[in-house]
């Protein structure tokens, strides 16, 4: 429960502070959000599987975000930023979906 409150607190801070994101950072935000979602759902599944490890969670979260941002950056430099972004979204989206399916099996036994 406490991490959920932390998530809500982070949401509230972001909504009320309304920080302005520099323009050069904006292309990486959507990919970073998808990567973070992937890490979060992976962590939820690990909790339900009984094998959660906080260090693994933090490292996978940070590396997810960094690698996704790097792929987009590289794609932008090579002129295929949109395609690589699509690839990242597809891969992470598939992972998110199968993790959510596993969470669903844990919670609803169906």
Partner 1 sequence: MTNGTNGPGGPAGTGGRRRPDASMTLITSMLERPLDPGYQQAADRREAQGLPRATSYRTPLVIVLAVLTGFLFAVAALSLRPKPTAAAQVKAQLVARIEGFQKQASAQDAKVVALTRQVRDYEALALKQSGSTDLSGQIAGLEVQAGTVGLTGPGLTLTIDDAASTEAGGGAGSRPSSGFEPGRVTSADLQIIVNGLWGAGAEAISINGHRLSSTAAIRFAGQAIIVDFRPLARPYVITALGDGTGMQQLFDQAFAGVYLSQLTQEFKIRSVLKTADALSVPADSASRLEVARPIAPAGSATSTGPGTSTQRNAAPGTAPPGGTTAGTGTDPATSTDSPTTAPSTTSAGNSQENP
- Cβ pair 32, 68 in contact under 8 A: yes
Does residue number 8 form part of the binding site for partner 1 (CB under 8 A)?
yes
At 34, list the tokens. Answer: 């998808």
CB contact at 8 A, 64 and 56? no
For partner 1, which is the closer residue by CB, 55 or 109? Answer: 55
Regarding 2 and contact with partner 1 (CB under 8 A), the answer is: yes
- Contact assessment for residue 74 and residue 92, using Cβ atoms and an 8 Å cutoff: no
Instruction: Give the interface with partner 1 as residue ranges (CB under 8 A).
Output: 2-4, 6-15, 18-21, 26, 29-30, 32-33, 36, 38, 40, 42-43, 45-47, 49-61, 63-64, 67, 91, 94-96, 98-99, 102
């Amino acid at each position: 429960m406490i991490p959920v409150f932390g998530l809500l607190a982070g949401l509230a801070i972001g909504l009320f502070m309304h920080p302005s994101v520099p323009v050069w950072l904006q292309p990486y935000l959507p990919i970073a959000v998808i990567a973070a979602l992937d890490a979060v759902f992976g962590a939820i599944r690990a909790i339900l599987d009984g094998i959660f490890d906080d260090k693994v969670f933090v490292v996978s979260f940070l590396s997810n975000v960094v690698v996704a941002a790097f792929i987009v950056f590289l794609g932008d430099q090579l002129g295929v930023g949109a395609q690589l972004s699509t690839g990242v979204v597809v891969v992470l989206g598939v992972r998110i979906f199968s993790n959510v399916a596993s969470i669903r099996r844990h919670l609803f036994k169906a």
